């Protein structure tokens, strides 16, 4: 009898570390926040203006005024590995030099409150606590990640939780929550991926054969409607995941957990647009993002492979060059930037091909691809004795489905040989 696999939420902590963290998370995080604030207050107390205000000396007014040294706070520069960026006050700025410090201390205050009261908050909640001060959501987003990186803590340690937007489809997965509830994922509808702090463990069906990560929500919904996760033309059940573009933390945590815990016979495959931004999204899943490099060990999924769409392969599927889109200046700049990074050779070839051909491909271009029907593929499988002779319905026989069946079968077969 096949036995399902139970997977713990991926973490780099041992059981002992997890137990100790559960018993004393507050002092570490609160101490770090308080020390950061105290360092600024200490500088403030030593400024010449503060000293002159507190002094009882009758000769103070006779002394020449000393030019106050700017107050400084150092935060990790997440754009440059191992670098710091310095906030200074006062500083000549069109908007005034106090605003960045006011924004920083407001975020620190809200974090401190969330930890002490043990009430989780989100970046969105923080923004709406003082919209006139922050002005843009991006200000809060950047400060939260800057603070976490500077204090060498996860956002969860600061009681700041991610907002979920990712979806998962496929009856081969059940999610067990800390509350005792279970989420039974189905083949026909996407389930919202819970934040990592709410997840206790996963149960994965023993006959799970593949995982597909899809860039676009529209493509994900199409695959759900045709029950692609249990498609008869594939060598086993699968999971389909989407982060709806650049993935949120909860989606990346799920993919990282599957990458770390699933048997090697189960490939994790990415379906993205054949353009520089699609490849960049795949890079976030596989290698992590530069903005959250301090959490890469928990969020990167190194087993993720680039299934498609590959602009360089579409001619072999009968897709006319005129069906491809011309690359923009932004595409060109993104491609050139990515080529400076240490990326897989396959990705490098695709980016170079885009720059040379001046064309990019969206997933939707597969509608014009010339591929054998899934009925023909399944007939071939039946002749070789490798799969069921059950026939797919016409609704499951789109060009996109045929493309994915062909690709996924190939990856599963190769993974089985290596396992």
Instruction: Give the helix ranges, DSSP H, for 358-398.
Output: 374-384
Half-sphere exposure of residue 263: CA atoms within 13 angstroms, side-chain side: 17
Contact yes or no for 42/72 (Cβ under 8 A) = no
| CA–CA gap between residue 42 and residue 40 (Å, rounded) | 5
| CA–CA gap between residue 174 and residue 181 (Å, rounded) | 11
Spatial CA neighbour of 191 closest among 212, 226, 220: 220
- Write out the two tokens for 402: 């045929």
**Phi, psi dihedral angles at 303 (to 5 degrees):** -80, -10
In sequence order, the 6+-apart residues with CB closer than 8 A to the CB of 358 are 326, 327
Burial of 123 (0-12, 13-18, 19+ CB in 10 A): buried
| CA–CA gap between residue 33 and residue 111 (Å, rounded) | 8
Q: Where are the beta strands (DSSP E) in 252-395?
A: 268-271, 304-308, 325-326, 359-360
In sequence order, the 6+-apart residues with CB closer than 8 A to the CB of 31 are none
- Between the alpha carbon of residue 25 and those of residues 11, 114, 159, 401, the distances in Å are 16, 12, 10, 47
Q: Where are the beta strands (DSSP E) in 136-280?
A: 160-161, 167-169, 173-177, 182-184, 191-192, 199-204, 208-214, 237-242, 268-271
DSSP string for 20-84? HHHHSHHHHHHHHHHHHHHHHHHHHHTSHHHHHHH---TTGGGSPPPPPPPEEEEEEETTSTTEE
Alpha-carbon Rg for the chain, nearest whole angstrom, is 26
* Catalytic residue annotation: 128
368: left (phi over 0), alpha (psi -120 to 50) or beta: alpha
Spatial CA neighbour of 381 closest among 236, 222, 226, 205: 236
Q: State how far Cα 254 lies from the chain centre.
A: 10
């Amino acid at each position: 009898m096949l036995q399902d696999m139970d997977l713990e939420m991926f973490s780099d902590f041992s059981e002992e570390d997890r137990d100790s963290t559960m018993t004393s998370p507050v002092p570490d995080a609160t101490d770090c926040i308080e020390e950061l604030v105290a360092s600024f207050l200490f500088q403030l107390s030593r400024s010449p203006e503060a000293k002159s205000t507190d002094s009882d000396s009758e000769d103070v007014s006779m002394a020449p005024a000393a030019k106050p040294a700017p107050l400084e706070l150092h935060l990790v520069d997440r754009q440059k590995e191992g670098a710091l960026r310095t906030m200074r006050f006062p500083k000549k700025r069109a908007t005034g030099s106090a605003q960045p410090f006011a924004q920083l201390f407001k975020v620190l205050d809200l974090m401190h409150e969330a930890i002490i009261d043990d009430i989780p908050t989100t970046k969105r909640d923080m923004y709406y606590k003082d919209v006139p001060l922050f002005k843009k959501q991006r200000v809060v987003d950047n400060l939260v990640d800057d603070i976490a990186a500077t204090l060498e803590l996860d956002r969860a340690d600061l009681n700041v939780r991610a907002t979920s937007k990712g979806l998962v489809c496929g009856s081969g997965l059940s999610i067990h929550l800390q509350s005792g509830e279970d989420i039974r994922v189905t083949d026909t509808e996407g389930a919202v991926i819970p934040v990592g702090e709410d997840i206790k463990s996963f149960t994965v069906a023993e006959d799970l054969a593949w995982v597909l990560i899809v860039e676009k929500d529209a493509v994900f919904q199409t695959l759900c409607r045709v029950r692609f996760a249990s498609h008869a033309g594939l060598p086993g059940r699968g999971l389909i995941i989407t982060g709806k573009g650049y993935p949120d933390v909860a989606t990346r945590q799920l993919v990282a957990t599957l990458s770390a815990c699933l048997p090697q016979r189960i490939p994790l495959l990415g379906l993205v647009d054949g353009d520089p931004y699609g490849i960049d999204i795949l890079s976030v899943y596989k290698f992590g993002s530069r903005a959250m490099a301090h959490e890469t060990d928990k969020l990167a999924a190194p087993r993720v492979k680039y299934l498609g769409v590959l602009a360089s392969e579409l001619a072999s599927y009968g897709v006319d060059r005129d069906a491809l889109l011309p690359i923009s200046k932004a595409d060109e700049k993104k491609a050139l930037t990515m080529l400076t990074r240490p990326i897989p050779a396959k990705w490098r070839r695709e980016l170079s091909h885009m720059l040379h051909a001046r064309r990019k491909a969206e997933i939707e271009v597969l509608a014009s691809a010339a591929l054998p029907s899934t009925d023909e593929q399944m007939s071939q499988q039946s002749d070789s004795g490798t799969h069921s002779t059950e026939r797919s319905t016409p609704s499951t026989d789109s060009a996109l489905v045929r493309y994915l069946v062909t690709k996924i079968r190939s990856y599963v077969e190769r993974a089985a040989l290596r396992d």
